[in-house]
Structures are given as structure tokens and as C-alpha cells.
Amino acid sequence: MQKITPFLWFDNNAEEAMNFYVSIFKNSKVLTVSRYGEAGPGPAGTVMTAEFELDGQEFVALNGGPRFQFTEAISFVVNCETQDEVDYFWEKLSEGGTKSRCGWLKDRFGLWWQVEPTILAELLGDSDPEKSKRVMEAMLKMDKIEIEPLKRAHEG
């Protein structure tokens, strides 16, 4: 068992969200699903918690009711090695949701994700401040992150 597990509060669609995420990420699986009993507080037989794994990272989803909503204050970063990966996760995770700026998107369940190429941190961290500045300026104009324009900005 991992030391820290993200715990996600959904209104009543934790199982749907879990199945959506598991369908997108390779090496992912449903671990366990527990259901409310006669004692509640949810309707008997409905999903209480759903435990799942996305590419080695465990999560727990709870059907806790409409009291709490996701915000941009918490997001998950998807680190991508290639533009094909960026494109794949950008399209799949935003399906039914909202695309935003600088690699951010909100999925159809309201959860925020950042889809980023791993090279972005390398380019932004360049010891030459002018190169780093050009990369930042290029990224700030993007919704989905595009690797080649970042590389071109880096080179000047």
C-alpha cells in the first residue's frame, strides 16, 4: 500500500469517474468497490467508495454527495514524453469537460488536470534566462502544450 493516496469526493458518480479514468490510462485497473448498506448514509446498494489504480498510482473515489466540488487548487499532472502522448491525454481527459490555458483542463467530473510534456521543465529551467523567458512566453500563449514551438522558442 502506498503511503499517500489521493481521495476524491464525488456527488454520486464515483464509479463512472473511476471507469472513465481507468479507460484512459494504460496499466490501470479497478481495485475494489464498496457499496452502502442498509445503514446508509447513501442508498443501499449504491457505490460508497471505489479504489482504483492509474499507471501505478492508487486513488479512492467516494460518493459523498453534492456538498464539495473540485477546484483548480488541486490538480493532477500527466507527464508526457511525446507530443502524441500530450495529444492523447489532452483529448481523452477533456472529453465532455473544458480545455483551458497552459496545458490545464477540467474533465467532465470537474477534476483538474495538467497535461505537460516532460521537456517543458527542462526548457523552463535553462540556465540562460533569455531562453527560459522565451519558452515561458511561448507556453503562455498555448492551450494544449505543443513541444516543437517550445523548442523553437528555446533556440530563439
- Name the amino acid, one letter, at 6: P
For position 84, which CATH number holds? 3.10.180.10
Q: Do 102 and 130 lie in a common domain?
A: yes
- Name the amino acid, one letter, at 147: I
How many structural domains compose the chain? 2
Whether residue 53 contacts residue 6, with contact meaning beta carbons closer than 8 Å, is answered with: no
| Residue linked to cell 475494489 | 32
Residues 112-116, mean pLDDT to the nearest whole number: 98
Q: Do 109 and 139 lie in a common domain?
A: yes
Supply the pTM of this predicted model. 0.93
Per-residue pLDDT reduced to its tens digit, 19-50: 999 999 999 999 999 999 999 888 999 999 99
Q: 3-state DSSP helix/strand/coil percent for the chain, to nearest 5?
A: 30, 30, 40
56: containing domain: 1-68
> What is the model's pLDDT at position 122?
96
Per-residue pLDDT reduced to its tens digit, 120-155: 999 999 999 999 999 999 999 999 999 999 999 999
Residues 98-102, mean pLDDT to the nearest whole number: 97
Q: Do 53 and 112 lie in a common domain?
A: no
Question: Does the pLDDT of residue 10 top 90, yes or no?
Answer: yes
Question: Does the pLDDT of residue 59 top 80, yes or no?
Answer: yes
In whole angstroms, give the CA distance from residue 9 to residue 62. Answer: 5
> What is the model's pLDDT at position 132?
97
